[in-house]
């Protein structure tokens, strides 16, 4: 008992130092799996780690923490959320790609690492298809265009008019690939020059937007909705071609004549390292896909501005391949050169 206690205390200390958050069985899963993972003495025998490629406070992080709570309840064990922000998600992706394929390291990620990075960067230390085993889609992250409150605009048309009247004054922040590509696409399609200001992740970009260091940014609803509702920054449009039910009063960017056809959506999914046993992938898929399609999870993440739904591993795998091609076209059309 003493050895177990010491090991547990050591684990907690390490988790704290690395800013991990261990989530136990705190939240009920409405449609829990019809079997208990470890009743036969098998998987899992230790905490599962969900690696997130963005900082705490980002939309993906918020969704991962809710998913972690509910996964922990289903497996009657612990789930750790491990934020490894930086390098546009490369640090986290490389870490997971090289992790042991034993089901204890998962990757809650987005189109940044698995759709856009191969076209944004000249070389990557991971392959989004070969180095990962798809587990389940978790849903979509609608994005919105927000501006600093001091910028005297309340619509996309007014923003573009202001930019033309003040050449070289518009700046846009980004904390992920969707922000990068959306800003570049907005500038190219409108013909209004905009200076890109990249950030390590979304929270510090929002802070500088509020502080007036940058004019605007394209941010996911999950990360920015609360700040908009608090009146600290102004939302003027969504990047999807249709209005989102999560913020129906916002018009699409595509409604502006110069931006007709504008349609950029971010997605979220869970992967494991390539080589993870098929039976473990299927067990995880059962819980995660049921969760993403279930009422409890959907209602909780909807409050964050996240549209949840699950998939099979095969569907996520095929989707990843198709998104790589889609984002390559988006990036090339925006005139972004790989770095």
* Three-class DSSP category at 25: coil
Residue 4 has pLDDT above 70, yes or no: no
Residue 335 has pLDDT above 70, yes or no: yes
Chain CA centroid to CA 262, Å: 20
Residue 19 has pLDDT above 80, yes or no: no
Q: Give per-residue pLDDT as tens, 197-237.
A: 999 889 999 999 999 999 999 999 988 999 999 999 999 99
Count CA atoms closer than 13 A to 52's CA, side-chain side: 25
Inter-residue contact 154 to 147 (CB < 8 Å): no
Residue 142 has pLDDT above 90, yes or no: no
**Predicted local distance difference test score (pLDDT) of residue 38:** 52
Residue 163 has pLDDT above 90, yes or no: yes
**Predicted local distance difference test score (pLDDT) of residue 71:** 96
The answer for 86, left when phi > 0, alpha when psi is -120 to 50, beta otherwise, is left
Q: What percentage of the chain carries pLDDT values higher than 90? A: 78
What is d(CA 255, CA 260) in angstroms, rounded to the nearest whole number? 6
Residue 7 has pLDDT above 60, yes or no: no
Phi, psi of 142 (to 5 degrees): -60, 140
Q: Between the CA of residue 279 and those of 42, 288, 322, what are the distances in Å?
A: 11, 14, 26
Residue 177 has pLDDT above 50, yes or no: yes
Inter-residue contact 296 to 28 (CB < 8 Å): yes
**Predicted local distance difference test score (pLDDT) of residue 37:** 56
Place of tokens 């009146």: 231
Mean pLDDT of the chain: 88
The token duo for 38 is 């470890």
146: which strand partners? Answer: 217, 235
H helix intervals, 98-134: 111, 117-120
Higher pLDDT, 70 or 11: 70
Q: Give per-residue pLDDT as tens, 28-65.
A: 343 334 344 555 558 899 999 999 999 998 889 999 99
Question: What kind and span of H or E run contains 255?
Answer: none
Q: Give per-residue pLDDT as tens, 63-121.
A: 999 999 999 999 999 999 999 999 999 999 999 999 999 999 999 999 999 999 999 99
Place of tokens 């960067």: 121
**Predicted local distance difference test score (pLDDT) of residue 10:** 39
Q: How many CB atoms lie within 10 A of CB 25?
A: 17
Closest CA to 311 of 161, 135, 178: 135
Mean pLDDT of 162-174: 96
């Amino acid at each position: 008992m003493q050895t177990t206690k010491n090991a547990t205390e050591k684990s907690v200390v390490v988790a704290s130092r690395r800013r991990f958050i261990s989530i136990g069985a705190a939240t009920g899963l409405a449609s829990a799996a019809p079997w208990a993972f470890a009743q036969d003495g098998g998987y899992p025998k230790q905490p599962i780690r969900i690696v997130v490629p963005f900082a705490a406070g980002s939309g993906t992080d918020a969704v991962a923490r809710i998913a972690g709570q509910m996964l922990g309840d289903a497996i009657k064990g612990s789930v750790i959320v491990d934020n490894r922000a930086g390098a546009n998600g490369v640090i986290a992706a490389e870490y997971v790609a090289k992790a042991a394929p034993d089901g204890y390291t998962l990757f809650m990620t987005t189109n940044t690492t698995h759709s856009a990075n191969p076209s944004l960067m000249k070389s990557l230390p991971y392959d989004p298809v070969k180095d990962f085993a798809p587990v389940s889609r978790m849903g979509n992250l609608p994005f919105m265009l927000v501006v600093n409150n001091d910028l005297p605009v309340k619509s996309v048309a007014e923003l573009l008019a202001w930019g033309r009247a003040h050449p070289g004054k518009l700046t846009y922040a980004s904390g992920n690939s969707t922000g990068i590509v959306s800003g570049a696409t907005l500038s190219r399609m409108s013909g209004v020059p905009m200076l890109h200001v990249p950030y390590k992740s979304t929270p510090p970009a929002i802070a500088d937007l509020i502080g007036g260091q940058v004019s605007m940014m394209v941010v996911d609803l999950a990360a920015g909705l609360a700040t908009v509702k608090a009146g600290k920054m102004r939302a003027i449009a969504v990047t999807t071609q249709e209005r989102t039910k999560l913020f129906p009063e916002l018009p699409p960017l595509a409604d502006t004549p110069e931006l007709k056809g504008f349609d950029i959506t971010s997605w979220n999914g869970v992967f494991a390292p390539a080589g993870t046993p098929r039976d473990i992938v299927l067990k995880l898929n059962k819980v995660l896909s049921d969760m993403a399609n279930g009422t409890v999870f959907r209602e909780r993440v909807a409050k964050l501005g996240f549209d949840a739904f699950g998939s099979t591993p095969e569907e996520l795998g095929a989707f990843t391949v198709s998104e790589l091609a889609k984002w390559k076209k988006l990036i090339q059309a925006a005139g972004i050169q790989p770095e």
